[in-house]
Amino acid sequence: MTESQFIWMDGEFIAWNDAKVHILTHSLHYANSAFEGVRAYPTDRGLAIFRLQDHTRRLLNSCKMSLLKCPFDAATLNNAQVEILRKNTYKADTSVYIRPIVFVGYGVMGVYHLNSPIQTAIATWEWGAYLGEEGLNNGIKVKISSFTRNSIKSMMGKAKIAANYLNSQMAKCEAKEAGCDEALLLDSEGFVAEGSGECFFVVRDDVLITPPSENALESITQDTVLAIARDLGIKTERRRLTRDEVYVADEAFFTGTAAELTPVREVDSRVIGGGKRGETTRRLQEAYFDIVYGRNAKYAHYLTYIKG
């Protein structure tokens, strides 16, 4: 990874290499930590964070769900994300990833975590296309996972918490080992849930379809893409999707803060549509980048400029 100069930790800016924790940090053992993935894009007015307030709201909701008493309120966390980007220096054309994390610190061992200290950190670094530039333009290969998405009977999929990502990690490794780029996970009833770190869309007969959030994170990018589709006059549906329907879709793509809008060209050896980025996907992708790079005035309220 590309290192930056500073990390914000528990209210202070410290040097990147000094942002350390003890080996007996509770979250390292029991996987209760809430985190976010946020992006800042270079606009003609400098770096701007995309939907910062929505990410921070989700972070604090994840904390609430997993009983993490975050010592900082939303305003402080928002401000810290702006300030860390002011302190770290990036080239003018660089897109920056922001990773706030709230975790259980050092001092008490055992599963019960409510007597342990809670720590908060925000790191930022340069991060290009999560699924590759080639994937962004020409689409990726996907494998439907043999792992079922975490059941809502035992996990909380609407919390962006570390524990949920073992399931994602196993699915991702399985997909990569099978020569694919990403995994698509089904829920316990066999309907499409989400990717290992993305939401999923298909286009069938000119209708854009994405599953409800029942078995998935409430995705900020998915919400943005649905708004764009309405702007472009594309019919949208939020309904359950089955794997056979995915195989015969005209187009398919993943969405996520890291993955942005990445076309899918193949699922389980079935070529999707023309086997490359489809026309609807291209239009949505173009409109998404216009918004995040500050080229669409209608969505200017989604951007928090670093220079103020």
Give contact residues for ligand PMP (rule: CB under 6 A). Answer: 37, 168, 194, 197-199, 216-217, 219-222, 255-257
Number of neighbouring beta carbons within 10 Å of residue 274: 12
**Smallest distance from ligand PMP to CB 228, Å:** 13
Cα atoms found within 13 Å of the Cα of residue 278, Cβ hemisphere only: 23
The residues annotated as belonging to the active site are 160
Which residues make beta-bridge pairs with 38?
Answer: 98
Number of neighbouring beta carbons within 10 Å of residue 12: 9
Radius of gyration over every alpha carbon of the chain, rounded to an integer in angstroms: 19
- Cα–Cα distance measured from residue 8 to residue 15, given in angstroms and rounded to the nearest whole number: 9
**Smallest distance from ligand PMP to CB 213, Å:** 9
Nearest CB to ligand PMP, comparing residues 26 and 39 = 39
- Cα–Cα distance measured from residue 5 to residue 14, given in angstroms and rounded to the nearest whole number: 8
Q: Tokens 């995040």 identify what position?
A: 292
Nearest CB to ligand PMP, comparing residues 142 and 216 = 216
**Smallest distance from ligand PMP to CB 160, Å:** 6
- Cα–Cα distance measured from residue 12 to residue 6, given in angstroms and rounded to the nearest whole number: 10
Minimal CA–CA distance to 210: which of 135, 281, 282, 115?
A: 281
Using Cβ positions, the residue closest to ligand PMP within the complex turns out to be: 221
- Cα–Cα distance measured from residue 145 to residue 255, given in angstroms and rounded to the nearest whole number: 18
Nearest CB to ligand PMP, comparing residues 180 and 192 = 192
Amino acid making up residue 199: C
Residues contacting residue 131 through CB under 8 Å, at least 6 positions apart? 140, 181, 182, 254, 259, 262
Nearest CB to ligand PMP, comparing residues 99 and 204 = 99
Strands 6-9 and 12-15: antiparallel
**Smallest distance from ligand PMP to CB 147, Å:** 13
Nearest CB to ligand PMP, comparing residues 95 and 219 = 219
**Smallest distance from ligand PMP to CB 241, Å:** 15
